[in-house]
Amino acid sequence: MSSVLVQDIYKDRTQLIFHPIQETFKGALIPYTHCLAETENLTTLNDNTLFQIVDVRDTTVSTMSLIDTITDMINANEGFQDHYKGNRATRHRPIITSVDINDDHNEPPETENVHINNNVIYRLILQDCFGNLCYAYEEEPLQFLRGSNTKGIFRIELGSKLLVHGGTKVSINTLHLKNENITFLGGRIIKLNYHLYKRKLKELKDEIGYEI
């Protein structure tokens, strides 16, 4: 059965489905007003607010390095697909080590499931149920981005839901997250993960005006 965790809380706002255990999240379907008000250097979030994560980025890696990494992943995946198509008759299959960029879920590659060092700082783009977007930075290593089930460039599936607690620090309209002031709920939005790596590659190239 569908639920708010796999729905788009912005586009499906009037049709969200809450299971009994999720009823407490209804009160967190409020706008992130800090992006609508006059910019303040330092304040706090007024109330618990439910967001969906629409992007995750390692700020310690350059855009050019990301372009190179994603390009290598796409090329490796396409090479595997060509090899597999040419050997479909055989029962022995090679080990998959790259993301299937044509898969709806876009599982990140096993080769990306590496230890994340705590010097990495992730920047999230969060969206509330009214479509307002904001940046959120780690104030400390967030466990939901570093657990045993996290891997790949994005660490989680996009569209995952994040409850940010009232009292969280806000500086210049940007949230600053600690483990104690968030609750990671999981979930995903299929559309956000479809052909994700190809879409991200184009976005990054557009960002810096990249041309071959």
Token digits of residue 186: 């999981």
pLDDT recorded at residue 97: 40
Read off the pLDDT of each residue in 179-184 and give the average, rounded to a whole number: 98
- Report pLDDT for 76: 83
| Nearest-angstrom CA–CA distance, 159 and 194 | 12
| pLDDT score of 1 | 57
pLDDT at 182: 98
The tens digit of pLDDT for each residue in 50-65 reads 999 999 999 999 999 9
66-85 tens-digit pLDDT: 999 999 988 887 765 555 56
Say how many domains are in the chain.
Answer: 1
Q: What is the pLDDT of residues 101-150, one digit of tens each?
A: 444 444 444 444 445 567 899 999 999 999 999 999 999 999 999 988 88
Residue 3, pLDDT score: 94
Which of the 8 DSSP states describes residue 161? E
Neighbours of 49 (CB within 10 A): 26
Higher pLDDT, 56 or 90: 56
Q: Report the pLDDT value the prediction gives residue 147, as an integer from 0 to 100.
A: 87
Angle at the Cα of 74 from the Cα atoms of 63 and 122, rounded to 5 degrees = 35
CATH of the domain at 167: 2.40.50.770
pLDDT of residue 151: 83
pLDDT at 212: 62
DSSP class of residue 101 equals: T
At 8-51, the pLDDT tens digits run: 999 999 999 999 999 999 999 999 998 877 777 899 999 999 99
- Residue 154: is its pLDDT beyond 50? yes
Average pLDDT over residues 162-189: 97
- The answer on pLDDT for 194 being more than 50 is yes
The closest alpha carbon to 121, from 147, 135, 142, 150, belongs to 142
Mean pLDDT, residues 150-154 taken together? 88
| Structural domain boundaries enclosing 80 | 4-208
Q: Per DSSP, which regions of 15-132 are E strands?
A: 43-44, 49-58, 122-127
State the pLDDT at residue 121: 95
